Amino acid sequence: MSIKTRFTELFGVEHPIVQGGMMWVGRAELAAAVSNAGGLGILTALTQPTPDALRAEIERCRKMTDKPFGVNLTILPSVNPPPYAEYRKAIIDSGIKIVETAGYKPQEHVDDFKAHGIKVMHKCTAVRHALSAERMGVDAISIDGFECAGHPGEDDIPGLILIPAAADKVRIPMIASGGFGDGRGLAAALALGADGINMGTRFCATKEAPIHDKVKQFLVDNDERSTNLIFRKFKNTGRVGKNSVSDKVIEISLRPESVFTDIQPYVSGAKGRVALETGDLDAGLIWAGQVQGLINDVPSCRELIDRIVGDAEAIIKGRLAGFLAA
């Protein structure tokens, strides 16, 4: 069973399913498992503390899979930015052939990756940003709807509108992201004009995800209402799982006089890492999307991908075809 799209052809993968590049989660264990199952696994560059550590993680992943995998490099405006150029060099020097960029003004990085024969997929949250990335010369787009975990942008456009709106204008292959977790979602994304799906939260609830079992069970137990939108006041909206920490952040943010420094102690990435690694669900933020409402088990990556592709094929060949009058 296999679904061929422009994305699978361009990136040399069996199935049109991409693993999101998630902070603290996009490590070799998960990326290799996704790639070995026929999807596209993604290492998260900035999860590694240094460019040399990223080089070592890439080599570790290579020992675990001989299938294509990529690296995510997210560029965020910061007072003390990480050494992006050095991380970029580590990716290039390591012979990586697929990169997912995301974030702020990626042109310099896109140019360098393309000059070294690397295929670039850029993740964005608006049609205008997708078209801008296409003009920059990227090879594919990942379009992220409002349902997603992480930063959905400030337009609040859900996938049912955003995906076909982007498909109407974007000419290069496009992956749909945000709210995907099963075969129904894959079939729907293809119907809406995408060439595949990207999943973050769903891959967190797999056996190979390098996070605590209590966090995986948290995702299973939650429903589609179990998220909070934080940072809205500061025009940097983020969707996270609903827990005592994100509830507190919302409570503080609603105070008219509150400023970012008031919530800063609660939202540090280091505390989120503690939550993921120890299973202390109230240690920090746990980034998760509305797709939690569709997560009912913790399968292996292979079981999950096989199920999604099999269900999507059955929907396309069976249920949808059955609606056609003879």
Please report the DSSP string for 72-110 in residue order: EEEE---SS---HHHHHHHHHHTT--EEEEEES--HHHH
Q: φ and ψ at 288, to 5 degrees?
A: -160, 150
pTM above 0.85, yes or no: yes
Both 192 and 281 in one domain: the answer is no
Token pair recorded at residue 161: 């509108």
- CATH number at 30 reads 3.20.20.70
Q: Which residues of the chain have pLDDT under 70?
A: 1
**What is the model's pLDDT at position 275?**
97
**What is the model's pLDDT at position 76?**
85
**What is the model's pLDDT at position 78?**
77
Which helix (H) or strand (E) segment holds residue 240: the answer is: strand 238-241
Domain residues for 53?
A: 6-211+296-322
Both 224 and 202 in one domain: the answer is no
Q: Based on the number of CB atoms within 10 Å of its own CB, is 324 exposed (0-12), middle (13-18) or buried (19 or more)?
A: exposed
Token pair recorded at residue 89: 């060099």
Query: Do 218 and 286 form a contact (C-beta atoms < 8 A)?
Result: yes
Domain assignment of residue 34, yes or no:
yes
Both 234 and 139 in one domain: the answer is no
Q: Smallest Cα–Cα separation from 126: which of 109, 145, 98?
A: 145
Helices 183-191 and 301-314: crossing angle in degrees, nearest 10, is 50
| Angle value at C-alpha 250, between 249 and 256, nearest 5 degrees | 105
Domain assignment of residue 124, yes or no:
yes
Q: Tens of pLDDT along 38-95?
A: 999 999 999 999 999 999 999 999 999 999 999 999 998 777 899 999 999 999 999 9
Both 247 and 163 in one domain: the answer is no
Both 318 and 243 in one domain: the answer is no
Query: Do 139 and 159 form a contact (C-beta atoms < 8 A)?
Result: no
**What is the model's pLDDT at position 200?**
98
Work out the number of other CB atoms within 10 angstroms of the CB of residue 82: 17
Both 198 and 258 in one domain: the answer is no
Q: Is the dihedral of CA 316, 319, 325, 326 positive or negative?
A: positive
Domain assignment of residue 1, yes or no:
no
Both 242 and 185 in one domain: the answer is no
Domain assignment of residue 26, yes or no:
yes
Domain assignment of residue 223, yes or no:
yes
Query: Do 80 and 108 form a contact (C-beta atoms < 8 A)?
Result: no
- How many structural domains is the chain composed of? 2
Both 106 and 140 in one domain: the answer is yes
Domain assignment of residue 176, yes or no:
yes
Both 259 and 301 in one domain: the answer is no
Domain assignment of residue 20, yes or no:
yes
Q: Smallest Cα–Cα separation from 100: which of 162, 27, 43, 178?
A: 43
**What is the model's pLDDT at position 267?**
94
Both 59 and 88 in one domain: the answer is yes
Q: Tens of pLDDT along 200-232?
A: 999 999 999 999 999 999 999 999 999 999 999
| Angle value at C-alpha 217, between 264 and 62, nearest 5 degrees | 80
Both 223 and 300 in one domain: the answer is no
**What is the model's pLDDT at position 105?**
85
Both 181 and 248 in one domain: the answer is no
**What is the model's pLDDT at position 1?**
65
**What is the model's pLDDT at position 325?**
80
Q: Smallest Cα–Cα separation from 285: which of 322, 231, 234?
A: 231
Token pair recorded at residue 205: 């609830």
Domain assignment of residue 201, yes or no:
yes
